[in-house]
Amino acid sequence: MFDLSVFLPYLLNRAGSRIATSFSEILKAEHGITLSMWRVLAALHHRDGQFVGELARMTTIEVSTLSRMLGTMQRRGLVERRRPALRAVGSDARTVAIHLTEPGRALTEAIIPEALRYEVTALDGFTDDEAHMLKSMLTRLFDNMGRLETAPDRRPSKRLAS
């Protein structure tokens, strides 16, 4: 019998939604940004100067949605688009790298302690090894699911959890 209460996609969504909803409220109320904007800022803080496609993959935001959001963030002075000095092979004149501005970096650094507080709260009661293992498993799970997007037969294998 199918038991939703132990179904992995349900559990992931439930945990993620609880964190995202609460953190989104803080971001909006205290900083005037959305959770998606935060993901962009955090991704650029991690590695500044990403191209839109790279940023879309890292943040899991659809390219057209991301492009519109970057326009909003640019108008707010949080990011800027720069053309690379040396064009990479295969790039064209539309290729731009996205960079944090000083106000964008300052905002990101102001939010990081709150983001870390959410992580600490979510991992309360986990040992350091368990937290590391959970993060590693979630990364692997994400990578595994990417294979479904590129597989000719998009149906999952017959292997099911008991």
- Domain interval for residue 25: 4-84+94-126
Output the average pLDDT for the chain: 91
pTM value is 0.84
- Residue 131 in domain: no
DSSP readout, 96-145? -EEEE-HHHHHHHHHHHHHHHHHHHHHTTT--HHHHHHHHHHHHHHHHHH
- Residue 103 in domain: yes
How confident is the model at residue 158, as a pLDDT? 55
DSSP readout, 94-107? T--EEEE-HHHHHH
pLDDT digits (tens, 9 = 90+) for 133-142: 999 999 999 9
pLDDT at 159 over 60: no
Give the C-alpha separation, 109 to 105, whole Å: 6
70: domain CATH number is: 1.10.10.10
How confident is the model at residue 162, as a pLDDT? 45
Candidates 106, 146, 119, 108; CA nearest to 22 is 119
- Residue 161 in domain: no
- Residue 107 in domain: yes
In the chain, the amino acid numbered 2 is: F
pLDDT digits (tens, 9 = 90+) for 33-82: 999 999 999 999 999 999 999 999 999 999 999 999 999 999 999 999 99
- Residue 136 in domain: no
- Residue 137 in domain: no
Look at the chain and report how many structural domains it folds into: 1
- Residue 132 in domain: no
Q: Which three-class secondary structure state does DSSP give residue 80?
A: strand
Those residues with Cβ within 8 angstroms of residue 10's Cβ, 6 or more apart along the chain or in another chain: 4
pLDDT digits (tens, 9 = 90+) for 7-33: 999 999 999 999 999 999 999 999 999
How confident is the model at residue 47, as a pLDDT? 97
Q: Which three-class secondary structure state does DSSP give residue 51?
A: strand
Could you tell me the pLDDT band of residue 150, with boundaries at 50, 70 and 90? confident
- Residue 40 in domain: yes
